[in-house]
Amino acid sequence: MIDFTTYQALTQLYADYAAAIDSEDWDQWVSLFSEECEYKVQPRENYERGFPLCTLALISRAMLKDRVYGITETLFHDPYYQRHVVGLPRILKVEGDVIEAEANYAVFRTKLSQESTVFSVGRYLDRLRKTPEGLKFESRLCIYDTEMIPNSIIYPI
């Protein structure tokens, strides 16, 4: 069990994360991770079969910034909005300053003048650390059920 203040900080971080990417505030997205961190988007089949390949495997905050550069400067794509709905976090483990938790997510994609569709559903598997700057993601794995990607993933999940 964790105290309510910590739990509140955790749910706030999850909400801030969804708000940052849904509003395309990429600097804010990067700021939610610690310097030494990993962010991976992986199909469930690879995760469950022990295959290491990820659809995205960013292994430092610097690499997250490279992804932001790709999103904002180099990747051509059809414009779209995304909207995250994140379930309540389930605490898996607490050890000192580190919390392990998971939460279900659903992402809807809406292209300009088109209907909203289910873009990706899955589970966040997280390791969070208490730092002087507040709670940060040390690791966020997005293990997605929607293994057949509707063309491409540009923005972070």
Partner 1 sequence: MRNNPSVFPVDPAWEGTGTSRIPFWAYTDPAIYKRELDRLFYNKHWCYVGLEAEVPNPGDFKRTVVGERSVIMTRTEDGTIHVVENVCAHRGMQFCRERHGNKKELVCPYHQWNYTLKGDLQGVPFRRGVKQDGKVVGGMPKDFKVEDHGLTKLKVATRGGVVFASFDHEIESLEDFMGPEIIKYFDRLFNGRQLKILGYNRQRIPGNWKLMQENIKDPYHPGLLHTWFVTYGLWRADNKSELKMDARHRHAAMISTRNNAKVKSEEVTAGVTSFKESMQVNDPRLLDIVQEDWWGGPTAVMMTLFPSVIFQQQVNSVSTRHIQPNGNGSFDFVWTHFAFEDDTPEMVQRRLIQANLFGPAGFVSADDGEVIELSQFGFEQKPAHRAVAELGGTEVGDTDHMVTETLIRGMYEYWREAMGV
Contact residues for partner 1, defined by CB under 8 A? 41, 43, 45-46, 49, 51-60, 62-63, 65-66, 69-70, 73-78, 147-154
Minimum Å gap between C-beta 141 and partner 1 is 14
What angle (nearest 5°) sits at the alpha carbon of residue 113, between those of residues 155 and 107?
Answer: 35
Residue among 1 and 53 whose Cβ is closer to partner 1: 53
Q: What are phi and psi of 113, to 5 degrees?
A: 60, 25
Pairing of strands 90-95, 80-86: unpaired
* Separation of first and last alpha carbons in the chain: 28
Residue among 13 and 107 whose Cβ is closer to partner 1: 107
Minimum Å gap between C-beta 24 and partner 1 is 16
Residue among 13 and 157 whose Cβ is closer to partner 1: 157
Q: What is the distance of C-alpha 80 from the center of its chain?
A: 18
